Structure formats: C-alpha cells, structure tokens
C-alpha cells in the first residue's frame, strides 16, 4: 500500500500488542514508530512529531495518564491527538480526565482502531 505520509506513534510496554498494532497500521500505509517506555515521550524530536499517538494507559515507569497530561500542557505537543488504550475498568473516564482525545477499550476490533486513527488524523489536518 502507498504511504499516507501520516506518522503514528505507538506507546505500549506489551511487545505483542505493539507489534500487532504496528503491522496493522503499516498495512494501511501509516509511518509507524513504537516505543515501550513512556519516559521516551519526553524527548520527542520537534522535526519528527507524530500526527497521532496511541498511548497505553497503564505503562511501566511513567503512567500513560501522566504522559497525556504532560503532552497536553506543552505547546509543541498539545495539538497531537492522543488515543488512549486500556483494558482497565473505568478507563474511559480516566483517559478523558488525563486529556486524551479519545479512548479505545482493549480488546478492540481492527476496524474500530483504524476508524479512530483516521478520524483524528482528518480532524487534526
């Protein structure tokens, strides 16, 4: 498939989920970067900012909710849509409180994920 030129950053500490998400998104033409530790988000290079971030809520190290709050407070990153992922109960409300733009409960359908990514990429364009 032809590249969309859109960059998706996946932040999840489960390598199986990260690999599966990356493969699905790359099949759709997205340029995918993955990281497994939330602390790495602190040093996002300004010239290579993602167009959307898929962020696991419960990460080892820095919690995904804290990462979302930090990203939404910084002028360089506040515009990037954050789609928070979690299997945790009450996670949708937690994601909203943390500043995430959307939420997806694990496990989710591939089409649901792709639709949400496309929606946020379109609305942030």
Q: What is the CATH number of domain 27-88+101-119?
A: 3.40.50.2300
Is residue 56 pLDDT above 90, yes or no? yes
3-state secondary structure of 27: helix
What pLDDT was estimated at residue 2?
Answer: 72
Q: Can you tell me the mean pLDDT for 61-76?
A: 90
**Token pair 């996946």: residue:** 10
pTM of the model: 0.92
Domain ranges of the chain: 27-88+101-119
Higher pLDDT, 46 or 22: 22
pLDDT digits (tens, 9 = 90+) for 74-116: 998 999 999 999 988 789 999 999 999 999 998 889 899 999 9
b/e sequence 70-81, b meaning 16+ C-beta within 10 Å = bbbeeeebeebb
């Amino acid at each position: 498939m032809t590249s969309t030129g859109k960059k998706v950053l996946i932040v999840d500490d489960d390598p199986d989920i990260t690999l599966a998400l990356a493969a699905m998104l790359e099949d759709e033409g997205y340029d995918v970067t993955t990281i497994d530790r939330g602390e790495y988000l602190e040093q996002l290079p300004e010239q290579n900012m993602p167009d959307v971030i898929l962020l696991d809520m419960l990460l080892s190290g820095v919690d995904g909710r804290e990462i979302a709050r930090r990203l939404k407070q910084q002028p360089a990153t506040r515009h990037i849509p954050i789609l928070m992922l979690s299997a945790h109960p009450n996670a949708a409300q937690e994601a909203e409180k943390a500043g995430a733009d959307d939420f997806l409960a694990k496990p989710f359908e591939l089409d649901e994920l792709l639709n949400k990514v496309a929606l946020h990429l379109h609305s942030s364009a």
